[in-house]
Amino acid sequence: MKIRGYAAMTAKAPLAPWEFERRDLGAHDVALDIKYSGICHSDIHQAREEWGPAIFPMVPGHEIAGVVTSIGSAVSKFKVGDLIGVGVFVDSCRVCEPCKNGTQQYCIEGMTGTYNQLERDGKTPAMGGYANVMVINEDYAVTIPANLSLDGVAPLLCAGITLYSPIKHWKAGPGKKVAVMGLGGLGHMGVKFAAALGAEVTVFSHSPSKEADAKAMGADHFVSTKSEGFHTKYSKHFDLILNTVSAELDINIYLSMLGVDGTLVVIGLPGKPYSVEAGSLLPARRSLSGSMIGGIPEMQEMLDFCGKHNIVSDVEVIKADYINEAYERTVASDVKYRFVIDATTF
């Protein structure tokens, strides 16, 4: 089927309109009209080939919300008219332990990314959600609750699950003190989820102007990292710290704020490795860990949770012809808090 979308034809080239083909509907596939597609910072890194060799032409986009328009002959999970979402991956090996236990994002063979990867056949480039139509195997899509706005749902398929997964894994909730480093596209979702689960939430941000936003999202405390010695009053204080920052920083300052058996989870991707001092870990049996998106069952759990608590991402909706400007603004952190493309404009 012929698809309209936006693509980067070469590394660092501006994205431009492009027509391409998706596969015909297989027995277990569903086709969906994409309504909204979120812009993730990782789209920019990959379109600009900042994470190593990439596949071009590239149609980015892995925060996809839409409506089912047709289904394959063996599909049982969805029907025409259903609201569904597609996230960061569209397939996996299906037979390894992570795949069988629903953590497909950690597939031993490697998950198949929604774009900038080859499909499982090893030869067909996967094309993402900056387009008007998507074809997806039913096992790798999730149901969107009808009470949520689709534009605000789109970023949940990446930014949302990236925070929901560690928050649930490390059991944030009543009686737990959770800190979120950075109030951006990722961080603001961490605040909303941790607050909805009943944790005491503190935001660390280099932007003092975001304090009102943080409090409106459910944060109990806001700390400006521009203040000298900002961390001293929080020594051995937190149970869980979520690091959504991709910039280089002294991770030892934040480790010092963990209490006994506390964990700092790395979610952002800094340009250089952290220098971790053993003395930052030993005094309180602290852990430094990492987390990456979530599996299909957890994505569905997150969306159901969002439906129950009316949680969506804070977004700025744009037309397709604004994508390149949106990229520049995203790099400059000039968005509150996630750009979402109106897919009807492709």
What's the pLDDT tens digit per position in 263-311?
Answer: 999 999 887 899 999 999 999 999 999 999 999 999 999 999 999 999 9
What's the pLDDT tens digit per position in 87-136?
Answer: 999 999 999 999 999 999 999 999 999 999 999 999 999 999 999 999 99
Residue 250: how many CB atoms within 10 A of its CB?
A: 13
Cβ-Cβ contacts under 8 Å for 22 (sequence gap 6 or more): 1, 3, 127, 133, 134, 135
First to last CA, the chain: 15
Q: Where are the beta strands (DSSP E) in 115-194?
A: 133-137, 142-143, 177-181
* Structure tokens belonging to residue 330: 């995203």
> 154 near 315, Cβ under 8 Å?
yes
- Give the integer Cα–Cα distance in Å for 17 and 15: 7
What's the pLDDT tens digit per position in 256-273?
Answer: 999 999 999 999 988 789
> 288 near 262, Cβ under 8 Å?
no
Question: Which whole number is the average pLDDT over 153-160?
Answer: 98
Determine if residue 12 is left, alpha or beta; phi over 0 gives left, psi from -120 to 50 gives alpha, anything else beta. Answer: left
**Confidence at residue 84, expressed as pLDDT on a 0 to 100 scale:** 98
Give, as one character, the DSSP assignment of residue 156. G
Q: Where are the beta strands (DSSP E) in 1-62?
A: 2-7, 16-21, 29-38
> 130 near 86, Cβ under 8 Å?
no
Read off the pTM: 0.96
Q: Is 79 buried (19+), middle (13-18) or exposed (0-12) by CB count in 10 A?
A: exposed
**Number of alpha carbons in the 13 Å side-chain half-sphere of residue 40:** 30
